[in-house]
């Protein structure tokens, strides 16, 4: 691979808003000598962009998912490397240089990095960011949302992921219609092809959060629904105990509250343990968050697990086919 191979940045658009233009403008500021920007759009999408680095690639349908738009981009890309971004994320200026540097240093054909909370996000979105970056909210996968330790991974979101084009062509791209979890299916294909994915904390993008609680509950519920279904469809990376924990919590939490309602001694124990857990999450969050955000963080953790767990159970037990 050349020192600075041509890179195709691929951004699938859902709707055109300020985040989209922010992502495009930040990409145009990247410190890298040879890259293009591909915008995957639907048939009726209108966007006002004239920069020569940018190409729009339209589907033939009124509404398609990110996987379908990315597959079109993979086929039309001129770069040796495909860099995936979401339409509500934007990269640091050295994003591509750092990614290529890591690709040169490792045996991986794909590299990825964290999606940090943008400094400009409002209070409710920063609560979501604090939740995602907490071990109590995201479990062992919190490194996806903060700068963790470099490591090989087998499942990673496509909001910040770069893959060699020849590998993507070899495995047939995404080739699915999932809307949420399409990247899990892709990663399994990469791993099954004998390739490696390497996470590095310096390959940084900023990823706008959903507002807490309602917007975020809808988002995390969709994630839980897909993960529950993926336990059956993709057990290689989804049949893991950690994904079942929120479901166990979702079943057990109402049961404990019911017992506490009828048993005063149990109520005292329940309130005492709940307070202790609240303080543990609060203190742990002080490393990265403001005092005010930390006051809400333990509550956000409970809401997160209930929304995810309920939909995980639904996807696991009641969904036999899931494509959108």
Pick out the chain residues at pLDDT < 50. none
User: Can you give the pLDDT at residue 174?
Assistant: 95
Point out which residues pair with 230 in neighbouring strands: none
- Tell me how far the alpha carbon of residue 119 is from its chain's centroid: 18
In the prediction, which pLDDT does 61 show? 83
* Rounded Cα distance, 66 and 42, in Å: 10
Domains located in the chain, CATH noted: 7-209 (3.90.550.10), 216-317 (no CATH)
Q: Classify the C-alpha dihedral 81-85-90-91 as positive or negative.
A: negative
pTM: predicted TM-score of the whole model, two decimal places: 0.94
Local structure of residue 143 (DSSP, 8 states):
G
Residue 323 pLDDT: 67
């Amino acid at each position: 691979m050349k020192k600075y191979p041509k890179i195709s940045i691929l951004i699938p658009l859902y709707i055109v808003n300020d985040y989209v233009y922010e992502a495009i403008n930040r990409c145009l500021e990247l410190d890298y000598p040879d890259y293009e920007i591909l915008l995957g759009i639907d048939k009726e999408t209108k966007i006002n962009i004239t920069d020569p680095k940018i190409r729009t690639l339209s589907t033939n349908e009124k509404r398609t998912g990110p996987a379908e738009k990315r597959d079109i981009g993979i086929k039309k890309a001129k770069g040796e490397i495909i860099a995936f971004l979401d339409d509500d994320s934007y990269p640091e200026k050295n994003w591509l240089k750092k990614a290529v540097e890591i690709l040169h240093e490792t045996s991986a054909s794909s590299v990825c990095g964290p999606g940090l909370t943008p400094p400009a996000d409002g209070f409710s979105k920063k609560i979501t960011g604090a939740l995602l970056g907490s071990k109590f909210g995201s479990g062992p996968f919190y490194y996806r949302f903060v700068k963790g330790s470099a490591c090989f991974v087998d499942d990673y979101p496509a909001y910040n992921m770069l893959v060699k084009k020849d590998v993507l062509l070899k495995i047939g791209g995404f080739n699915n219609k999932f809307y949420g979890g399409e990247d899990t299916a892709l990663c399994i294909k990469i791993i099954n092809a004998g390739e490696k994915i390497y996470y590095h904390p310096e390959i940084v993008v900023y990823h706008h959060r959903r507002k807490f609680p309602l917007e975020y509950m809808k988002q995390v519920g969709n994630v839980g629904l897909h993960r529950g279904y993926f336990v059956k469809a993709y057990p290689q990376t989804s049949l893991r105990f950690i994904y079942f924990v929120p479901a166990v919590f979702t079943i057990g939490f109402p049961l404990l509250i019911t017992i506490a309602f009828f048993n005063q001694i149990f109520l005292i124990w329940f309130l005492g343990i709940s307070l202790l857990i609240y303080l543990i999450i609060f203190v742990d969050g002080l490393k990265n968050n403001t005092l005010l955000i930390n006051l809400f963080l333990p509550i956000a953790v409970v809401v997160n697990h209930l929304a995810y767990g309920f939909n995980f159970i639904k996807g696991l037990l009641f969904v036999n086919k899931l494509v959108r």
